[in-house]
Amino acid sequence: MGPAHSSHDAIRRAGRGAYSFWLNSLYFSTVDGSDPNSNNRSYTAMLSPSAKDMELDLEAEGRAVDWSTPARSFRCAVVGLGNRGLGLAQLARRFSGVEIAWLVDQSKERVAEAIKLFGRSAKGAMDPTAALVDPTVDIVFVTVPDYLHRGVAEAAFRAGKHVFLEKPLATTASDAAAILAAWRQSGRILQLGYVLRQAPFYAAIRAAVRKGMLGPERVVALTEQLDVRHGATFMRRWHAQSSHSGGLLVHKACHDLDLICWLLEARPRAVSSFGGLDTFAGPPPATSCSRCNRRATCPYVDTGLHERRTAAELMDPALYGLDRCVFRMDKDIVDNQVVSFVLDTGVRGTFCLAVQGPVRSERRITIIGDRARLDGVFEDGRFTVTFTDPEREPFLWSIEGQSQGGHGGGDHVTMLDFLNACAGRAQAPVTSAEDAMRGLIFALAAERARREEVVVRLDKGDFAVPFSPTVEAVRDEPLRTATP
């Protein structure tokens, strides 16, 4: 066959033996352009041994892969009805026997619109207390801004609920420790929103690593580059102040730092970092985006694409602070940051976060080991493993072109795992408390390293609770609100 792993469009149009192996199907064209369905030839496809190695056996890992209606419906409260809260609630109610019982948000308009969406059987409130003490509620989704996670999650655990807590766990180590202590006391399920772990792309990379395909791993490099229009929204919203988000790295890249540890089954030993605010620096041309006279030419203009808005907010975008100029002076986050680190297994690596760049956001990953190098792009749904042994064919993994749902399919699998864990059918969710803390501590250590231009050592740290030496390394800082 011709050029390895072509796009489906190239297979259809160019032909010439181009092929693609996608999930468990082979798509191919013939070398002479004849139709393989009618040219009277027969074809045999053989899976290379490395492809067989890669089969994922989720059930063997103790995870239930199906859902069946629970004997009694799960009643859920959603606290925080922004993009994520509504998205998770819509996803949850697609599972039979899961009801949305309470919709809570500080904004009256958001509550009212959510009730229209979910139906009048859901109660609305602007304060979570009534929902949390409702004895008929089983599950609480915590989807308020990051700095508010602790208050809602602690109260939910105290009330004996299972909690789906969005990432990051918290914005400080002490808030995170308090949440985990409340969770331990409750005996309930905690699912953290590290949904990328559950995306088939990263699950397959982990399988490749676990099967020793790459050999002892030596170096890892991850990049998260956000489409600048998406990046600009962080400068406009609550995320722009580290007292609310923990900083862009904590808020956005706790996913990636968690993935590094999870894929390589390791913990960070020492971390350094550099970063700054460059693209979104300088005097703001206006305070309000909608009334700015540079609106027609500003590349960062508010398009409304990245946040859900109520009818009232569409009329007046200032209602939820979405009309702020991205050059506002009160922000203290960076727009680019580089982290370099060594893990306790000796693997060295880098992570780059940038909110500048072309319209497509991209997460890239390279892992280099003695036996092979793995390169992938999450948004392409595809990675390759190129072996050191020149005789060995490269291995290609792809779910290219197949719609996976939110976060590359991770949202659905995470919800399935969580609900099954709540139903007592599966082992605990794949993110343990120690893991949840590890990703946050990694990000907080990088933030401290950036601010102080030091190397932060975590080698004495115990990532479980209590974890005092680690807490010392990432001690809660007085959070800045001044212009950098």
Ligand X SMILES: NC(=O)c1ccc[n+]([C@@H]2O[C@H](COP(=O)([O-])OP(=O)(O)OC[C@H]3O[C@@H](n4cnc5c(N)ncnc54)[C@H](O)[C@@H]3O)[C@@H](O)[C@H]2O)c1
Q: How far is the CB of 225 from ligand X (least distance, A)?
A: 16
CA 451/CA 442 separation, integer angstroms: 14
| CB-nearer residue toward ligand X: 15 or 409 | 409
Is the Cβ of residue 236 or residue 269 nearer to ligand X in the bound state?
236
Full DSSP string of 211-241: TTTT-SEEEEEEEEE--HHHHHHHHHSGGGS
Least spacing, CB of residue 105 vs ligand X, in Å: 4
Closer CB to ligand X, 146 or 217, in the complex: 146
> Considering only 9-17, 28-36, 141-149, 178-186, which stretch makes contact with ligand X by CB under 6 A?
141-149
Q: Which among 59-67, 145-153, 297-305, 429-437 is the span making contact with ligand X, rule CB under 6 A?
A: 145-153
Distance, in Å, from the CA atom of 350 to the CA atom of 340, rounded to the nearest integer, reads: 4
Token pair recorded at residue 370: 């003695």
Contact 161, 137 (CB under 8 A): yes
Torsion over CA: 57, 61, 63, 64 (sign): positive
Would you count residue 441 as binding ligand X (CB under 6 A)?
no
If binding is defined by CB under 6 A, does position 161 make contact with ligand X? no
Closest CA relative to residue 330, chosen from 145, 139, 484: 484
Q: How far apart are CA 455 and CA 407, in angstroms?
A: 32
Binding residue count for ligand X, defined by CB under 6 A: 24
Pick the stretch among 104-112, 176-184, 279-287, 340-348 that binds ligand X (CB under 6 A).
104-112
| CB nearer ligand X, residue 79 or residue 271 | 79
Contact with ligand X (CB under 6 A): which of 30, 48, 90, 107? Answer: 107
Which of these, 424, 237, 376, 392, lies nearest to 320 by C-alpha position?
Answer: 237
Cα separation, 244 vs 228, in Å, equals 21
Considering only 25-33, 101-109, 265-273, 390-398, which stretch makes contact with ligand X by CB under 6 A? Answer: 101-109
- Min CB(127)–ligand X separation in Å: 7
In the bound state with ligand X, the residue whose beta carbon lies nearer, of 148 and 445, is 148
Q: Does 148 bind ligand X (CB under 6 A)?
A: yes
Q: How big is the CA angle at 404 (ends 414 and 22), to the nearest 5 degrees?
A: 120
Question: Given the DSSP bridges, would you call strands 456-457 and 162-165 parallel, antiparallel or unpaired?
Answer: unpaired
Q: Which of residues 284-323 bind ligand X (CB under 6 A)?
A: 307
Backbone angle region of 247, left / alpha / beta, with phi > 0 → left and psi within -120 to 50 → alpha: left
Least distance between ligand X and beta carbon 199 (Å): 10
Site string for ligand X, 382-421 (x = CB under 6 A): -------------------------x--------------
Residue environment code for 203-212, b if the CB has 16+ CB neighbours within 10 A, otherwise e: bbbbbbbeee
Choose the binding region for ligand X from 102-110, 420-428, 459-467, 475-483 (rule: CB under 6 A): 102-110
Query: Least distance from C-beta 298 to ligand X, angstroms?
Result: 22
Which is nearer to ligand X, 87 or 160 (by Cβ)? 87
Helix (H) or strand (E) holding 436: helix 433-452
SS3 55: coil
What tokens were used for 75? Answer: 């009643």
Nearest C-alpha neighbor of 191 from the set 136, 158, 143: 143
Of 15-23, 98-106, 326-334, 336-344, the segment contacting ligand X by CB under 6 A is 98-106
Sites for ligand X among residues 419-438 (CB under 6 A): none
Strands of 139-142's sheet in order across: 123-125, 98-104, 74-79, 139-142, 162-165, 190-192
Let me know if 230 is exposed, middle or buried by CB neighbors in 10 A (0-12, 13-18, 19+): middle
129 binds ligand X (CB under 6 A): no
List binders of ligand X among 187-206 (CB under 6 A). Answer: 193, 195
Contact between 268 and ligand X by CB under 6 A: the answer reads: no
Contact by Cβ (8 Å): 45, 26: yes
90 vs 107, which CB is nearer to ligand X? 107
Task: Determine, following the binding rule CB under 6 A, whether residue 144 of this chain makes contact with ligand X.
Answer: yes
Site for ligand X in 51-90 (CB under 6 A): 79-85
Q: Which of 73, 106, 350, 386 binds ligand X (CB under 6 A)?
A: 106
Nearest approach in angstroms of CB 455 to ligand X is 28
Contact 242, 332 (CB under 8 A): yes
C-alpha 340/C-alpha 351 separation (Å) is 6
Tokens of 374: 């793995």
Does 105 bind ligand X (CB under 6 A)? Our answer is: yes
- Tokens 């693209």, residue located: 279
Helix (H, G, I), strand (E, B) or coil at 272: strand
Closest residue to ligand X, judged by C-beta, is 82
Residue 146 makes contact with ligand X by CB under 6 A: yes
Question: Closer CB to ligand X, residue 230 or residue 371?
Answer: 230
- Alpha-carbon torsion (245, 246, 247, 253), positive or negative: negative
Q: Which among 10-18, 142-150, 265-273, 347-355 is the span making contact with ligand X, rule CB under 6 A?
A: 142-150
Minimum CB distance to ligand X smaller for 94 or for 108: 108
Q: Which residues make up the interface to ligand X (CB under 6 A)? A: 79-85, 104-107, 110, 143-146, 148, 166-167, 193, 195, 251, 307, 407
